[in-house]
Amino acid sequence: MPELPEVETIARRLREILIKKTITSVTIVKEKSFQGDPQKIVGLPILDVSRRAKLIKFHLPNGLHLLAHLKMTGQFIFVAADGSRLGGGHPTDDWISQLPSKHTRVIFELQDSEGKAHHLFFNDQRIFGWIKVVTDQEVEAEFRKYGPDIHTLDASLKYFTQKISKTNRKIKQVIMDNSIVSGVGNIYACDGLNTACIHPARRASSLTPEEVKKLLHALKQVIVLGIKLGGATIDHYRTVDGFAGKYQDHVRVYGREGEQCKNCGGTIKKMQLGGRGTYYCQNCQI
């Protein structure tokens, strides 16, 4: 599942290549993947591309936007007029094989200022992802469902402390709750807790003010590193240029069961917590 750093990386890549290109056609292969009237956006230029939580927003004129969520298996692949590719999302054969594929759900044709035609493919194996045509107000309503992005100033120590101290839920589940803070997926939750030396199953309300501060700092740090490295690509597509990220080479505990903790040399263990594989060091995470 693409996490915030992966989604941020895709948004940044798309921003570089889509700005000022005009949408000339929208082909909806799977009805479920596209909500709204595609005719409303045909003929409009893409003004900007941004990200909030794990939502990608394509800014259009007239107060309209395209909002996209990749969910479990979504991916965007831009194929330029010259055949070159750029994109990201769930890593599959579609990164490198012929498009459209059997997983292609929506195809955008885009024209640049020289009249050349390019294509943007939205592929999604499991069809949980979506693209919606929305207004300014609808974007705001969608964004209100999410807490502040963890690496931004809005996720302040005061805000984080208030949220953490109020609940007896396990700390890992609290930091992964998008209504509290956005952007902390499984990989980064495990790594942030290890950096802060906090056991994932601790009750949130039991954290001391010092631990809360350390945890917030650690989460910001791992997410910023994740974004810097283009996210994580944990599979055999890890070298596909213009798609894969490098965070997997820098993970602290995620996927490293039986290996040594980078803090203390202790052995990394794996347990199930809230149905998710959770990695931690039994020696230094208390």
Q: Which residues are at the interface with Zn ion (CB under 5 A)? A: 261, 263-264, 266, 281, 283-284
Residue 254 CB, nearest approach to Zn ion (Å): 14
Q: How far apart are CA 196 and CA 119, in angstroms?
A: 44
Active site residue 148: no
Q: How far apart are CA 228 and CA 211, in angstroms?
A: 25
* Residue in 132, 228, 270, 276 annotated catalytic: 276
Active site residue 276: yes
Residue 245 CB, nearest approach to Zn ion (Å): 25
Q: Which is nearer to Zn ion, 106 or 198 (CB)?
A: 198
Residue 284 CB, nearest approach to Zn ion (Å): 3
Q: Which is nearer to Zn ion, 175 or 281 (CB)?
A: 281
* Residue in 13, 21, 54, 172 annotated catalytic: 54
Edge-to-edge strand ranges of the sheet holding 48-52? 34-35, 130-135, 64-69, 55-59, 48-52
Q: How far apart are CA 141 and CA 119, in angstroms?
A: 30
Active site residue 51: no
236 burial (CB, 10 Å; 0-12 / 13-18 / 19+) is exposed
Q: Which is nearer to Zn ion, 67 or 281 (CB)?
A: 281
Residue 8 CB, nearest approach to Zn ion (Å): 29
Active site residue 54: yes
Q: Which is nearer to Zn ion, 17 or 281 (CB)?
A: 281
232, 6 contact by CB (below 8 A): yes
Q: How far apart are CA 120 and CA 100, in angstroms?
A: 10
Dihedral of the alpha carbons of 191, 2, 82, 23, in degrees to the nearest 10 = -130
Catalytic residues, which ones?
2-3, 54, 276
